[in-house]
Amino acid sequence: MMKDISNPQSMKAILKKHGFTFKKSLGQNFLIDRNILNNIVAQANLTEHSGAIEIGPGIGSLTEHIARHSQKVVAFEIDQRLLPILSETLAPYPHVQVIHSDILEADVNKVIQEELSGIEDIMVVANLPYYVTTPIIMKLLTEKLPIRGIVCMIQKEVADRLAAKPGTKEYNSLSIAVQYYAEAETVLKVPKTVFVPAPNVDSAVIRLTLRKEPPVQVQDEEFFFEVIRSSFAQRRKTLWNNLLNNLPLKEKREELEKVFQAIEIDPKRRGETLTIQEFGKLADALAPLLK
């Protein structure tokens, strides 16, 4: 049985051998706890017929655990210095393909077609760099990828927002955007001590299960999100004030009043109290005013 990459001794030895130093600018925090790694992979419910996409494999400690539970793994690594390390640490796993690329610039659909063709069940499993968590998650959710979902380690504060319910202080436009595409649940809280170097923040693992259909049908998706962003522009302000200040409605106060009456939503409410369905109703009712 091979020794895991993910214990502190192995990791130190590998980093020392390759003279690797952490780059703060890339948000590099490598996992060194076998239980946590096993737990992350368990939350993805992989089988030997699953394909997995990983982002930021580091030296391969999570990759190794994913590889043991799946048919094929494709890992995107932005840091060229890690490529020789990965080719060494992942040598026992020929079904892992490392791609030197920034996930935000990659054509993920094309990579899936080329590297994971014929695989029906695909999950993204990753310990995401914290400084680009949101753009990565939104890219994965909006690009209509043939994936079942995403299980990723992120900053606990962000996880709380993604899974937040209406009426809580964490609930914001990001919560709604994510929950429009996926069901979100925090499945694991993770202490700082399981990383090298230890980050300054607490972490959590979130599972996003992609929806077949959004929870609300809207006439214009782009406008729906614009209404949501406007409603949260200044958190302490009412819907009425936020919409007047952030959409071209200043000349249309009377019509705006009628919209609120018609859909039976109190304009004195704050954005954080509205459900995704209420935002759908609001956006569809506002759209004619702005045509």
- Residue ranges at the known binding site for S-adenosyl-L-methionine: 29, 31, 56, 77, 102, 127
CB 96 within 8 A of CB 75: yes
User: How many other CB atoms sit within 10 Å of the CB of residue 18?
Assistant: 14
Q: Residue 184: which of 172, 192, 194 has the closest Cα?
A: 172
- What tokens were used for 241? 């004030």
Handedness of CA 277, 166, 258, 255 (dihedral sign): negative
What distance in Å separates the CA atoms of residue 143 and residue 180, rounded to the nearest whole number?
13
* DSSP single-letter state for residue 219: S
Q: Give SS3 for 100.
A: strand
Q: How far apart are the first and last CA of the chain?
A: 66
State the binding site.
29, 31, 56, 77, 102, 127
Beta strands, E only, the chain = 30-31, 50-55, 72-77, 96-100, 121-127, 149-155, 182-190, 195-196, 203-210
